[in-house]
Structure 1
Amino acid sequence: MTKISITPVTSKRERKAFIELPFRLYAEDPYWVPPLKGEALGLITPEKNGWFSHAKAQLFLAYRDGRVVGRISAHIDTLALEMPAASGFGPGVGQWGLMDAEGEDVFFALLDRAESWLREQGMTRALGPISMSIWEEPGLLIEGFDQAPTVMMGHHSPVYRAWIEAAGYKPVKQLRTYELDITRMFPPIVQRIIRSGENNPRIVVRKVDKRRFDEEAAIILEILNDAWSDNWGFVPLTPPEIKDVGVKLKPIVFNDLIRIAELDGRPVAFMITLPDLNEAIRPLNGKLLPFGWAKLLLWLRKPRVTTMRVPLMGVRKELQSSRLASQLAFMMIEAIRQASVANYGASRGEIGWILEDNQGMNSIATTIGSRINKVYQIYEDSL
């Protein structure tokens, strides 16, 4: 068989080849959702992704007979290096991700090159796949191949798991998503908890105000970085990242789908829900031209979707061991559930990802009648 060559991505043409490879490899996968090529290119372009303000990455392409047959990223997050080792990251921990390959031999060649680059940078342990920030698309899909991913979630070939494990990598953490029928009322016990909260004058659950986008985003960021700080894999979100994510997500931010809970006038919890943009972009095959932009713009004016995704929810750490934490969560979930059905025609919700050992969030998800629909796995190995 012809030799595989691995080369670093250094040019605009090579970056384009990097984002176009999955379009060929997943062309026959009915559940893969083609990303908008401009968004995919922005992810790997330092000038367009605030994550690069505290991270660096090297992309690689695999060639055989002059044809691109694989890709991978190797990257180092300086904020992750500062985290305690118990958090999953810490000193000496690099990552790899954005991996796709035509065959096992291609994968092994790519992984070897990514690991070599990490060693050259002084790393001693690797986590993967993480594409590329922990806040973007972490983990390899290992369960739930029969459903298309929702917005900002990954989809992978089922053969990759065996390849990664054959390379000596061991599972370190699982991330779960839950689905539920949001047209149905929650169980009576949840309804009683919600009514109790609604009768408590100290509690206010309000919509965000998109006209004050930056101010509301700052409130949510402050709660998020506090609420998630003890979670495995936590790396604080930074203002440059929030700015770029805000530009990317602002078109699908709607006041009634994002709630902030206040206790005695102080913001203490939040919940972000997004209409599943993948339902709108899937038919575009990655292209906004010539007519895709018009179709997407029309959809964005008044989305009608089947699925709503809850990517982020958080309650301040000081309240997390109290009964109030779950009460606030149920109140926000119910308010958004009602808005999702009434205003957007949604019938299905997806919550996640949630760490396998996050007992509080897993309990909330099961209490409202959700079931696990997808599982993603992060692996580790020494370098």
Structure 2
Amino acid sequence: MPLEIRPVESKKELEAFLHVPWTLGMKSDPNWVPPLLDDYRRSLNPKKSPFLKHGEVKCFLALQDGHPVGRISAQIDTDFDKQWPQEKGVAFFGFFDSKDDPAVARALFDAAAAWARGKGRTTIRGPFTLDSKGEVGVLVEGFDTPPRIGMPHNRPYLGPLIESAGLAKAKDFYAWWYTSGHIDERTRKIAERTLQLPNVRVRPMDLSHFRREVDIVRDIYNSAWSQNWNFTPF
């Protein structure tokens, strides 16, 4: 069947783009957690998206006989360029999904790569939705459990499809189960020693100064994660 890769331009095409997982039957997977589509709509809306204040994104649909069979986004992030000046040639991809067909995957990645090259980029990396603060990576093990927060859940063939399009693994990500209410002895001792330091204290948030408290949390987060792979600050 003829394959068409179409840039997303209209609201109707955006809705088709967002609903590709449903179109491809992901709802039949009991461990799949559907995304909040209103969040995605905001993230791709230039008037509402925090990401689009410092980045660009282009979305593509794969169509066969007029029906969606895949999707991908390509994006660049000037915040990433500032945080990692040695990697200014990097663009990103996200939202990747496809039927189990290497030709569809290759065509989608060709479209994303062509857009990135047009922006002067030499490398494309992902999946990121839309950056490291969103959903990251592709699931390659653990298909029998629901995803952790910020982690994807996809069909087992998606990783091999990405590799069939010529991409190679850049980083391993791990998600862990944690038993609520249990603190191991090592962690407990570290916490006790930390609380004994003269310049450390623990206090509740002061909601009467909410904006100030949020700024403190943001600054701590940005400092703690500043050297994490692909990090961009809030």
C-alpha spacing 1:61/1:195, structure 2 compared with 1 (3 Å): same
* CA distances 1:212-270 after superposition (whole Å, capped 9, x unpaired): 33211211121222222222212222xxxxxxxxxxxxxxxxxxxxxxxxxxxxxxxxx
Is residue 169 from structure 1 mapped to residue 167 from structure 2 by the alignment? yes
| Pick aligned residue for 2:176 from 165, 175, 178 | 178
User: Hey, what does 1:103 align to over in structure 2?
Assistant: 100
Q: In structure 2, do the counterparts of structure 1 residues 228 and 186 end up closer, same or farther at CA, with 3 Å as the change threshold?
A: same
Residue pair 2:137, 2:151 contacting (<8 A) in 1 also: no
Asked if 2 retains the 8 angstrom alpha-carbon contact of 1:72 and 1:96, the reply is: yes
Asked whether the 8 Å contact 1:96–1:114 carries over to 2, the reply is yes
Q: Are the aligned partners of 1:142 and 1:158 in contact in 2 as well (CA < 8 Å)?
A: yes
CA distance in structure 2 between the aligned counterparts of 1:122 and 1:21, rounded to whole angstroms: 29
> 1:141 maps to what in 2?
139
Residue identity matched to 2:76: I
**Whole-Å separation in 1 of the counterparts to 2:36 and 2:226:** 32
Kept in 2: contact 1:83–1:91 (CA 8 A) = no
**Identity over the aligned pairs, expressed in percent?**
35
Equivalences for residues 80-159 of structure 1 within 5 A: 80-84=80-84, 90-104=87-101, 105-159=103-157
Q: Does the 8 A contact of 1:93 with 1:126 survive in 2?
A: yes
Give the 5 Å matches for 1:344-363: none
1:89-124 Cα offsets, whole Å, 9 max, x none, are x22111111011113221111111111111111111
With over 3 angstroms needed to count, the CA separation of the structure-2 counterparts of 1:200 and 1:77, relative to structure 1, is closer
Greater RCO, CA 8 A, separation 6+: 1
Give the equivalent residue in structure 1 for 2:232: 235
Q: Is the alpha carbon distance of 1:180 and 1:171 closer, same or farther for their aligned partners in structure 2, counting shifts above 3 Å?
A: same
2:8 and 2:61 in contact (8 A); partners too: yes
Q: TM (normalized to structure 2)?
A: 0.90
Q: CA deviation at 1:211?
A: 4.5
Note the residue ranges of structure 2 that are not aligned, 5 or more in a row: none
Rounded to whole Å, the distance in 2 between the matches of 1:201 and 1:30 is: 50
1:23 aligns to 2:2 (yes or no)? no
CA shift digits 1:324-381 (9 cap, x unpaired): xxxxxxxxxxxxxxxxxxxxxxxxxxxxxxxxxxxxxxxxxxxxxxxxxxxxxxxxxx
Partner of 2:216: 219
Shift of 1:60: 0.6
Aligned to 1:10: 9
Structure 2: distance between partners of 1:37 and 1:208? 31
Partners of 1:226 and 1:196 in 2: CA distance? 22
Map 1:46-61 to 2 at 5 A.
46-61=46-61
TM-score w.r.t. the length of structure 1 is 0.57
Task: Give the conservation status (yes or no) of the 8 Å contact 2:100–2:157.
Answer: no
Q: In the aligned structure 2, how far is the partner of 1:190 from the partner of 1:183?
A: 13
Distance in 1 between the 2:187 and 2:75 partners?
43
**How far does the alpha carbon of each residue in 1:160-215 deviate from its partner, in whole angstroms, 9 at most, with x for none?**
1111112221211122222121233422x433333344444532122323443321
Q: Distance in 1 between matches of 2:12 and 2:140?
A: 32
Gap runs ≥5 in structure 1: 238-383
CA–CA distance in structure 1, aligned partners of residues 133 and 218 of structure 2: 13
More strand by share: 1
Give SS of 2:171's match.
strand
- Residues 129, 135 of structure 2: 8 Å contact kept: yes
Query: Amino acid of the residue matched to residue 53 of structure 1?
Result: K
The Cα offsets for residues 25-58 of structure 1, whole Å up to 9 and x where unpaired, read as 2021111111232222222222221011110011
C-alpha change, 1:91 and 1:63, in structure 2 (3 Å) is same
Q: Identify the residue that residue 66 of structure 1 maps to in structure 2.
A: 66
Q: Contact 1:85–1:91 (CA<8 Å) still a contact in 2? A: yes
Separation in structure 2 between the aligned mates of residue 191 and residue 233 of structure 1, nearest angstrom: 31
Farther off after superposition, 221-230 or 208-217: 208-217
State how far apart, in whole Å, the 1-side matches of 2:149 and 2:187 are: 28
